[in-house]
Structure 1
Amino acid sequence: MKYVISVFLGSACYGILSTIVVLAYGRGYDLGEVVGSQLFTGFVLAWGLALIMKIRGKRRAGGQSGQAPNASNTTGRLKWKQRLLLMAAGTPTAITGLLYYESLHYIPASLAIILLFQFTWIGVLTQAVSQRKSPNRIMVSTIALLLGGTVLAAGIMEQGTGQFNGIGVILGLLSAVSYSLFIIFSGKALPSVHPAYRSAWMITGGMLFVFICFPPTFLFNGLLMSDLILYGFLLGLFGAFIPPVLFAVGVPHIGEGMAGILGASELPVAVLLSSFILNEHVSALQWAGVAVVLLGITMPELMKRRNYILFGGRQ
């Protein structure tokens, strides 16, 4: 149960981000300052954890005779080619943040998170195209549920499409595309390396990408010492530091399928905070749409478990 709770809380942390970003915008901070301060905070926290892991690894190695196996994975001794690969794998998550946070300038946070969650079926289509294999009936049904739930959750049935800013919707969908790419790349980039070092180098790559797009003047003009440091710390803590750590603890013990189900906790948390803190109107029909989206996300794993019980024996 502790591993289930770990992944659940890690996913719920992501649902907090959109509300914090909207509050930061309300204080006058721009996109580069918000994303830059988030990744800078995540960079500091991630490397702090990596340093602690390195010290522990050296102490353990010192207490054993001979050199510990896979020392590069426990003390962070990676080749520069490996470091660059991890940094490149972390770039899509920075792009996701830029697109997702920019969409919040145009559309409500409750709609932005729903658009971001379209990464689920986008990932299915991407995999089908890359493998030249058509999705099965379960995947098709899942996509149908997700699209139908999105229509309900976005309020299209009640208010039509006239209320939506086209730029915001496009940015929200593009954030879903980049997030699906991040999942693909992060899963294939040196999975044998310790999670602390993988996370640190990936965050480093994302931070450098953002700093190239938006020079970090806030680090030198004193702006970081204003309220920006609070928003950056919260975003870095809940977006770039805590979730990867909790996922590294829980996912190996519960499996990727169950982790995907628990990852859906991000959606209701984001919509709930948008409703209560940002005072965005979320109708009963929209909440029903959120429930349908959650059902669509969990259905493949539920069907897999059902088929295993029916045809593969008892779990």
Structure 2
Amino acid sequence: MKNIKYIFMVLLGGTMYGTMASFVKLLYSKGFNAAELAFWQAFLAALFLGICTFATRKANKGKLSHKDWLPLLLTGSTIGLTNFLYYESVSYIPASLAIVILMQFTWFSLLLEWIIFTRKPSRFEFLTVFFILIGTAMVGKLFETEEWAFSIKGITLALSSSLTYAIYIIANGRIGKGVRWQSKSMVIMIGSSICIFMINGGTIIAGSHFSGGFLIWVIFLAIVGTTIPTALFATSISKIGAGISSILMTVELPIAILCARIILKEQISPLQIAGIIIMLASILAMNYHKLLKSRK
């Protein structure tokens, strides 16, 4: 019964992440841009997590040391880039396609671990990558030549966000292991906001969107898209394990597709639905295979 609670927490966090692209694309119609949305989301999340860190400062275990700051800030820069590139991509391509491309981080992670840590993927992992790519091609309508009206820039941005997300996942799993999740998440979000500002400072400063409506939306993005999922994952993943959690977090894909259909009224063909199912099954199989290997 206790594990069910933590399973629900991971599912809830993945669900919250999955809604973000549709809301961001909706906000573009109000005149907001990716740079200011990604920056203020990260900045406010860092503030909220900072308050949480201060409120729990008496905890003796896992305190943040000076040597932890730079690696965590750099880790934060990768998730900052991920959010900005992902948000920017949905201004060029459908949100449903952007999330499918973002999910390519699964095989990007395998590739990076192979290059950096010389951990060669197994035959089964190679096979699942093949099916992930087939599913992606189906969702992107690459088999329907008359439908090739997608934006190369949007695809490139989404692929770049997928790569930086893979880097973030690998770095986050290896850096700051002994640091409390409140402090670790706070510094990561500080690094995220700094990175976004360094790239888009002029756009952010020039932005005139400081109305009450804008503030409400960025608070919503910061809380629902960052702060709460971070707290849920930090509390639950250590209880049920990274393997099971990675399987559960694939809920982000169908939720994102569903939100794009409901909120943005994006049309999804039977071929695309089939591609999504193939992708989801392949990602689940890959993560389950990793889980079995880790238990041997």
Q: TM-score, normalised by structure 2?
A: 0.92
What's the counterpart of residue 180 of structure 1?
166
Indicate the structure (1 or 2) with the bigger Cα radius of gyration: 1
Give the CA deviation at 1:113. Answer: 0.6
**Can you list the C-alpha shifts for 1:98-132, whole angstroms capped at 9, x where unaligned?**
11111111111000111100000111111112233
Q: Structure 1 residue aligned with 2:282, among 275, 296, 305? A: 296
Structure 2 CA distance for partners of 1:256 and 1:133, relative to 1, 3 Å: closer
CA distance in 1, matches of 2:53, 2:293: 41
What's the secondary structure of 1:10's corresponding residue?
A: helix
Measure how far apart 1:196 and its partner are.
0.6
- TM superposition shift of 1:39: 1.1
How far residue 134 of structure 1 moved from its aligned partner, in angstroms, is 3.1
The CA distance in 2 between the partners of 1:281 and 1:106, in whole Å, is 16
Give the deviation of 1:31 after TM superposition.
Answer: 2.1
8 Å CA contact 1:36–1:216 kept in 2: the answer is: no
What is residue 125 of structure 1 aligned with on the other side?
Answer: 111
Number of the residue aligned with 1:30: 33
Give the conservation status (yes or no) of the 8 Å contact 1:150–1:290: yes
Q: 2:56 maps to which residue?
A: 53
Q: Percent identity?
A: 30
List runs of 5+ in structure 2 lacking aligned partners.
none
Question: 1: CA distance between counterparts of 2:293 and 2:114?
Answer: 22
Structure 1 residue matching 2:210: 3-state secondary structure: helix
Q: How does 1:160-199 map to 2 (within 5 A)?
A: 160=146, 162-199=148-185
Give yes or no for contact 2:97–2:140 (8 Å, CA) kept in 1. yes
Distance 1:280-1:221 versus aligned 2 partners, 3 A rule = closer
Matches within 5 A, 1:7-18: 7-18=10-21
Q: Structure 2 vs 1, CA of residues 187 and 302 (structure 1 numbering), >3 Å: closer, same or farther?
A: closer
The structure 2 residue matched to 1:43, chosen from 40, 46, 50, is 46
Contact 1:37 1:229 in 2 (8 A): no
Structure-2 separation of matches of 1:23 and 1:146: 28
Deviations 1:172-220 (A, max 9, x none): 1111000000011111111110001000011011111112222388689
Residues 16 and 238, structure 1, Cα contact 8 Å, conserved in 2: no
Alpha-carbon offset, residue 80 of structure 1: 2.7
Aligned-residue offset at 1:52: 1.6
SS in 2 for 1:204: helix
Find out whether 1:250 has 2:239 as its counterpart. Answer: no
Shift of 1:224: 2.6
1:137–1:218 CA distance, 2 compared to 1 (3 A): closer
Q: Structure 1: which 5+ residue stretches go unaligned?
A: 58-67
Residues 211-234 of structure 1: CA deviation (Å, up to 9, x unaligned): 222238868987333321122112
- When the two chains are superposed, the root-mean-square deviation of aligned CA atoms in Å is 2.3
- Give the stretch that moved more between structures: 198-207 or 230-239: 230-239
Amino acid corresponding to residue 140 of structure 1 in structure 2: F
